[in-house]
Chain A
Amino acid sequence: MSATTTAPEAVDERTNALRKLLNRRYRFIDRKFDIVFWVTAAFVVAAAADITKLLFAGDWDFWTDWKDRQWWPMVTPFAVIIIPSALQYIQWLAWRMPTGAVYTALCMGVASWIGRIAQWDWFGGFPIVFVWPVTIIAAAVWLDWVLLKTKSFVLTSLIGGFGFALILWFVNYVILAPYLQPVDWMGLPLTVSDVQGIEYVRGQTPEYLRMIEHGSLRTFLGETQYVSLAFGATLAVAGYWLGQFIGRMLAIWPIGRFIKRF
Chain B
Amino acid sequence: MTRNVVRKAAALLAAAVLIVLALPAAPAGAHGETAQESFLRMGTIAFWDVKYTESKVAQGQELTISGTAKILETWPDQLAEPKLGFIGVVAPGPVVVIKTRTINGQPAPAAIEVEKGGVYHFEMTLAGRRVGHWHVHPIFGIHGAGSLLGPGQYVDVSASPGGFANDITLVNGKTENLENLGIGNLTVWTIIWFAVGLVWLLYWIVPKPTVTRLPVTSQIPLNTDGGAYGLITKKDHRAMNIVMALTLFLVVGGMVYQANAYPVKMPQQVLRFAPEAAVMDATFVTMDPKDASYDVDSGTVHLTVAVTNTGSTPAAVEAFTTSTLTFDLAETAGPGTVQVSPSPVIAPGKTVTLVLSMTDPVWHKERLMPVGESRMQITGVVRTKDAAGHENFTTVQSFVKPSRIA
- A-side residues, CB < 8 A to B, are 15, 18-19, 21-26, 29-31, 33-34, 37-38, 65, 68-69, 92-99, 102-103, 105-106, 109, 113, 124-129, 132, 135, 137-138, 140-142, 144-145, 148-149, 151-153, 167, 170-171, 173-175, 177-196, 198-204, 206-210, 212-214, 261-262
Given contacts A18-B229, A207-B111, contact A196 B178 (CB under 8 A): yes
CB distance from B41 to the nearest CB of A (A): 16
Nearest B residue to A96 by beta-carbon distance?
A: B231
Q: How far is the CA of A31 from the CA of B271 in the complex (A)?
A: 59
Whether A125 pairs with B109 at a CB distance below 8 angstroms is no
Nearest CB in chain A: distance from B334 CB, A: 33
Complex: A106 Cα to B267 Cα, angstroms: 29
> In chain B, what residue has the closest Cβ to A68?
B268
Chain B min CB distance to A119 (Å): 11
Bound complex: CA A122 to CA B288 (Å): 54
Count of chain B residues with a beta carbon within 8 Å of a chain A beta carbon: 102
Shortest Cβ distance from residue A95 to the other chain B in the assembled complex, whole angstroms: 4
Tell me whether A180 and B197 are in contact (CB under 8 A): no
Give every chain A residue within 8 A of B250 (Cβ-Cβ).
138
Whether the Cβ atoms of B178 and A199 lie closer than 8 Å is yes
Q: Are A21 and B197 in contact, with the CB atoms below 8 A?
A: no
Complex Cα–Cα for A206 and B52 (A): 21
A93-B222, A174-B257, A208-B141 known; A129 vs B170 contact (CB < 8 Å): no
Please report which residues of chain B, range 232-258, place their CB below 8 angstroms from some CB of chain A when the two chains form the complex.
Answer: 232, 236-237, 240-241, 243-244, 247, 250-251, 254-255, 257-258
CB distance from A154 to the nearest CB of B (A): 9
How many angstroms from the CA of A214 to the CA of B219 in the assembled complex? 54
Q: Are B197 and A102 in contact (CB under 8 A)?
A: yes
Indicate if the CB atoms of B179 and A102 lie closer than 8 Å: no
Is B197 touching A94 in the complex (CB atoms < 8 A)? no
Interface: B279 (CB within 8 A): no
Query: What residues of A have a CB within 8 angstroms of the CB of B266 in the complex?
Result: 180, 182, 189, 191
For the complex, give the distance between the alpha carbons of A160 and B94 in Å: 40
Nearest-CB distance from B83 to chain A (Å)?
10
Q: Which residue of A lies closest to B125 (CB)?
A: A186
Q: Is the CB of B229 within 8 A of A22?
A: yes
Report if B4 contacts A (CB, 8 A).
Answer: no
Contact with A along B188-231 (1 / 0, CB 8 A): 01100110111011001100111111111111101111101111
Among B31, B110, B198, point to the contact of A106 (Cβ < 8 A): B198
Taking a contact as CB atoms under 8 Å apart, the answer to whether B201 and A204 are in contact is: no
Distance in Å from the Cβ of B188 to the closest Cβ of chain A? 9
CA separation between A91 and B334, bound complex, in Å?
74
Question: Would you give the shortest CB distance from A207 to chain B, in whole angstroms?
Answer: 5
